[in-house]
Structure 1
């Protein structure tokens, strides 16, 4: 899908709720869901352009090791804010983590399953008895039991083995694993590696479209520093929409912060993120807005599939209060 993205009232957004001149900037650590790539273009562009500094925020960006770890770190307070899959954040909260989602990034689920034609599998019904590889903290791996539940498959019928994020292609190519997962914005990597041999499907085509990556905040930090969280969220809204309009400009800053990236590949990654961010709510209500009914449905599924030790209501896992409704994704056919 090709789209042109626009924004409204972004330039003035950061003027809302800023502290007075001369006050010390609020410091916070922001942990990513994974290592730096095209999907993080908006975060790094905001840092590079000085937008966090303009909002009196001193932001340290740290590399991630998966949504599960990011949610645990934010929930434990070792990072004030971060990016985590909403389902993984719910699981962490059910285990006692003190965190809340304050902005949605992926309005559409990014989860996709991948395998090869010569595996003998034709679809999800053939997965039982096969070996899939993923990092243990990967969001899709954490949420696999939910996909299995929705489709009437025993989650334990698939064997999961631990591999590094960078080993997905090589492990599948060598036959060490029969399948893996990738976010849809990384689809180009699998397509380039395997061509016509590649088999895949999107989870949202298999009856499951939960919210994906979201900005989460530590509960104590949120309670003590609501204005700082609000300023951070507005910067992220602004940067997400700006970078959807100016993909090349935003992706071009990434090599300043991470070596070894191929700009051409990261542009494809970010373009995939634009599609994930864009839905009816993000274009008509606000970029980053959670729909209560969808959050409730996600929470019900998580509570059904996972051993939730600490019960919580859907309203406890998210808030829309920090969003600027003037900042929206605007999708239109390309000229």
Structure 2
């Protein structure tokens, strides 16, 4: 039997502490993160569940609990309250809170919807043919709707008096139904949400409804992204980096294989209609996430000058007491390299 050499003995003696160190690292408890979505689980949420089921969060040292939400603006409030550590919410609500309660607002660390999906939707056979026609009528929206929160800015840009438009709070699962039944004159919703809900109701979204897209009517706003609490940002920056990396990885995997994302969503929500949610996912990927800006900067990042303009719009619309700086609203510090954030969408 050959005797060990000095070199092999030295290697073994060095390997021992390295193996023990790796084991100790693995044994460290995962950081718990409570994460809230903006809405009920739909196609564009599949990547969060994929990051969970495929162990991307776990590999980043995180134990993430995902809860469904009740609106993009409401998600911001829930993170601010301390009920959640992070979430998927509206950057314009972050701006508003940063102006009113600086130091308490969540901070966005990964922008998902580069083009805002805000839309006012009316029935084609109804009385609302222009935005001006909303005056004296009822506009329905969920209580936590970012689209409704940004309506005064849209109104100001288009000569509409928002004080003459009655906003009716509607349960999230009844928004499109109340429009179809004529119980409200129009609704304020994410375009992808309503578009596919109309399809699911057997309606033709193009023929049966009029669409007023905010982005086509003077509001070049950003929209939803991953935000974290001040406490998580301050106390666990490595957890923020891991969260962002895991979500980015999951988005790219789902974009490359939408069916896998829909299958995971079906596992989480058994009542999911796969065909509808696949279409909804692809709609949001192509319409809100693949833009000239994301092709240049990579998904997750944004243009500071454009954000400054968006901040100005929110501050002016709500007569806010101060104008937050870009870094109070968004920080790119935790983004993976650009080459790891290039989005390609499969059919």
Which 5+ residue runs of structure 1 have no aligned equivalent?
A: 1-18
C-alpha deviation, 1:181, in angstroms: 2.3
- Conserved 8 A contact 2:118-2:189: yes
In structure 2, C-alpha distance between the alignment counterparts of 1:25 and 1:310, rounded to whole Å: 38
Alignment of 1:118-137 (within 5 A): 118-137=125-144
Residues 80-126 of structure 1 show CA distances to partners (whole Å, capped at 9, x for unaligned) of 10011111222233332331110000001111111112222222232
- Conserved 8 A contact 1:33-1:84: yes
Alignment of 1:202-221 (within 5 A): 202-221=213-232
Alignment of 1:1-150 (within 5 A): 20-96=25-101, 97-150=104-157
SS in 1 for 2:65: strand
Please name the residue that 1:288 is paired with: 300
Please name the residue that 1:10 is paired with: none
In structure 2, C-alpha distance between the alignment counterparts of 1:49 and 1:278, rounded to whole Å: 24
- Conserved 8 A contact 1:283-1:331: no
TM-score for both structures, normalised by structure 1: 0.89
Residues 37-73 of structure 1 show CA distances to partners (whole Å, capped at 9, x for unaligned) of 1110110111111111111110010111112221011
Which 10-residue stretch deviates more, 317-326 or 254-263?
254-263
Please name the residue that 1:222 is paired with: 233
SS in 2 for 1:101: strand
TM-score for both structures, normalised by structure 2: 0.86
Structure number with higher helix proportion: 2
In structure 2, C-alpha distance between the alignment counterparts of 1:311 and 1:199, rounded to whole Å: 35
CA 161–40 in structure 1, closer or farther in 2 if over 3 Å, else same: same
- Conserved 8 A contact 2:252-2:344: no
- Conserved 8 A contact 2:94-2:105: no
Which 5+ residue runs of structure 2 have no aligned equivalent?
A: 1-23
SS in 2 for 1:65: coil
In structure 2, C-alpha distance between the alignment counterparts of 1:95 and 1:39, rounded to whole Å: 30
C-alpha deviation, 1:333, in angstroms: 9.8
CA 47–332 in structure 1, closer or farther in 2 if over 3 Å, else same: closer
Q: 2:315 aligns with which of 303, 307, 325?
A: 303
Residues 12-44 of structure 1 show CA distances to partners (whole Å, capped at 9, x for unaligned) of xxxxxxx94332211110111111111101101
- Conserved 8 A contact 1:52-1:59: yes
Residues 138-195 of structure 1 show CA distances to partners (whole Å, capped at 9, x for unaligned) of 1101111111112222111211111111111221122110010221222132255443
C-alpha deviation, 1:311, in angstroms: 4.9
Which 10-residue stretch deviates more, 322-331 or 204-213?
322-331
1:188 equivalent to 2:199? Answer no
Over the aligned positions, Cα root-mean-square deviation in angstroms equals 1.9
C-alpha deviation, 1:305, in angstroms: 0.9
C-alpha deviation, 1:267, in angstroms: 0.4
- Conserved 8 A contact 1:84-1:216: yes
> Highest CA radius of gyration, 1 or 2?
2
In structure 2, C-alpha distance between the alignment counterparts of 1:270 and 1:52, rounded to whole Å: 22
